[in-house]
Amino acid sequence: MNGLEVEIVGLRLRNPTILASGIFDETGRSMLEVAKAGAGAIVTKSVSMQERQGYPNPCVAEVECGLLNAMGLPNPGIAAYADEIAMGRQGGVPVIGSAVGSNEDEIAEVAASLCSAGVDAVELNLSCPHADGHGMEMGSTPEIVRNVCDIVSARIDKPVLAKLTPNTTSIASLAEAAEEGGADGVVAINTLKGMTICPELRAPVLSNRVGGLSGPAIRSVGVRSVFEIFEAVEIPIIGVGGVSTARDALEYFMAGARAVQIGTAVRSQGTAVFSEVCWGLTKFMSDNGYESISDIVGVAHDDRA
């Protein structure tokens, strides 16, 4: 086992970097490219039972230190997407299917279909801040999160990850609810709800008006969220939000994450970001006497320092 190799929710990853859902994962071919570039695992785009067209343009806007997007979860539906998953699995790294649904039974059905398509684990997208009928309401309260995780965990025999929203008063309580509901791990954080307005047009830039903020602007929120969750649950945490360098990833590891997802940085740095982050992690570990990523996880907490 090399120093970067990690095991999380029963999956063996060659390194702790994971492609985040919704970025460069629309097709099996793009997933293969990400695997070839060095990612340790891949999360598919969020998939629903039926095809979703998503929102009209403009659906992405650049803002300082990040991106605002309101795509509306466009996807061809699980039946049509199964072939893309099969091709993506040829990359030789774990493929995690992202499931969305308008209610508990639907998201459980999607999760089961993803497992039938061959994914290694399922990530429940309970927290998309701009997807009408398939987003925030599914993960807005501990009671709903607990119920969804309970239903999905009873339905499938693959690991279940709950992706949580920061748009709440206590993300730690959502993580506790996910653990109580049988989730094998949590992913934190999803995008922050935001808006940008064009002064000349006197109107919101995005056609949906509201979108999800991602990128470096939300990293400190993500790190804080992971830190709080680490002290509240026993199940593993995957950190996501603004990771583009090894130093960014290290913040998440020291806060308590065992792996990190990378999304927005792929748009600006290309798929090479995965190997660049891994190179930086290897150098940091060598320079500071760490033998494995697990030696770094949680060290920022007082009782581990």
- Short-list 94, 120, 105, 121, CA closest to 48: 105
CA 279 – CA 204 distance, rounded (Å): 40
Q: Annotated catalytic residue: which of 59, 115, 128, 278?
A: 128
Are 51 and 294 in contact, with CB atoms under 8 Å apart?
Answer: no
CA distance between the termini of the chain: 25
Q: Is residue 128 annotated as part of the catalytic site, yes or no?
A: yes
- CB-based contacts of 232, cutoff 8 Å, min separation 6: 172, 173, 175, 176
Instruction: Return the H-helix or E-strand segment holding 60.
Output: strand 60-63
Q: In whole angstroms, what is the distance from residue 294 CA to residue 4 CA?
A: 9
CB 80 within 8 A of CB 231: no
Closest among 230, 161, 168, 226 to 193, alpha carbons compared: 168
269, amino acid identity:
Q
Alpha carbons within 13 A on the beta-carbon side of 284:
20
Distances (CA, A) of 60 to 6, 198, 211, 217: 34, 13, 8, 16
- The two three-digit tokens of residue 97, written as one number: 């299917």
- Bond preceding residue 58 cis, omega within 30 of 0: yes
Catalytic positions, written as ranges: 128
